[in-house]
A and B are shown apart, each in its own frame.
Chain A
Amino acid sequence: DSGVTQTPKHLITATGQRVTLRCSPRSGDLSVYWYQQSLDQGLQFLIQYYNGEERAKGNILERFSAQQFPDLHSELNLSSLELGDSALYFCASSVGRGGDLAKNIQYFGAGTRLSVL
């Protein structure tokens, strides 16, 4: 168990809908990362938050947004869902301090499997 908790485990929804994925980082971790894993693209970085602030952005669609709350949990919001958004969505967390790699190792949750029908 990595200590990163993601809910729900599975989501089945229809095109055009909006969903929210939730992530609780490991105790003491300030950074949260979101990744999308699909069969053809592999794991793709979406966005990172550090202590409530957005720090890095990857190939995240405008229909997707995220935030990190004062208690450090994070939510990824996906709207106007399309069939192609069906994927595994992973959250990872790290301590996120300084330039020491050991403090920035990312630990992954078990993921949320999203199916858009």
Chain B
Amino acid sequence: QKEVEQDPGPLSVPEGAIVSLNCTYSNSAFQYFMWYRQYSRKGPELLMYTYSSGNKEDGRFTAQVDKSSKYISLFIRDSQPSDSATYLCAMADRAGTASKLTFGTGTRLQVTL
């Protein structure tokens, strides 16, 4: 079993919909959580990062972490066609100089007109 599980999709939604993307994990040492967005043939770009449990909002994006359930979510409000990409969750057990990231396999999102 992988340390981080993520539904690969694809997930297709109409423009303006609220999108919910999720990851579950098994390693209770993870305490730093990130969401990356990856467009086709590009490198991952950081969307949001959070430490420990709770919510964080940035514009149309909200990240939630529930450490007791080992479950993290990314919500996208008012989704746009430009949000069409693969969304990767990533986690680390430390923030310092030896902080390798463990990624989910990514969820492919398609926002249609």
Interface, chain A (partner B; CB < 8 A): 2, 4, 31, 33, 35, 41-45, 48, 50, 55-56, 58, 90, 94, 96-101, 103-111
- Do the beta carbons of A42 and B44 come within 8 Å of each other? no
Q: How far is the CA of A81 from the CA of B90 in the complex (A)?
A: 28
- Do the beta carbons of A56 and B95 come within 8 Å of each other? no
- Do the beta carbons of B97 and A101 come within 8 Å of each other? no
Residue in A closest to B102 when the chains form the complex, CB atoms = A45
In the complex, which residues of chain B have a beta carbon less than 8 angstroms from the beta carbon of A109? 43
Interface residues of B in 64-113 (CB under 8 A from A): 88, 90, 94-106
Q: How far is the CA of A33 from the CA of B102 in the complex (A)?
A: 12
- By secondary structure, the B interface counts as loop
Minimal beta-carbon separation of A39 from chain B (angstroms): 9
Minimal beta-carbon separation of A69 from chain B (angstroms): 18
Known contacts A41-B105, A43-B103, A58-B100, then 20 further A-B pairs from the complex at CB < 8 Å, ordered by chain A residue: A4-B43, A31-B97, A33-B101, A43-B44, A43-B106, A48-B98, A48-B100, A55-B97, A90-B43, A96-B96, A98-B95, A99-B96, A101-B49, A103-B95, A104-B95, A105-B46, A108-B43, A109-B43, A110-B42, A110-B43
Minimal beta-carbon separation of A46 from chain B (angstroms): 9
Q: How far is the CA of A41 from the CA of B45 in the complex (A)?
A: 19
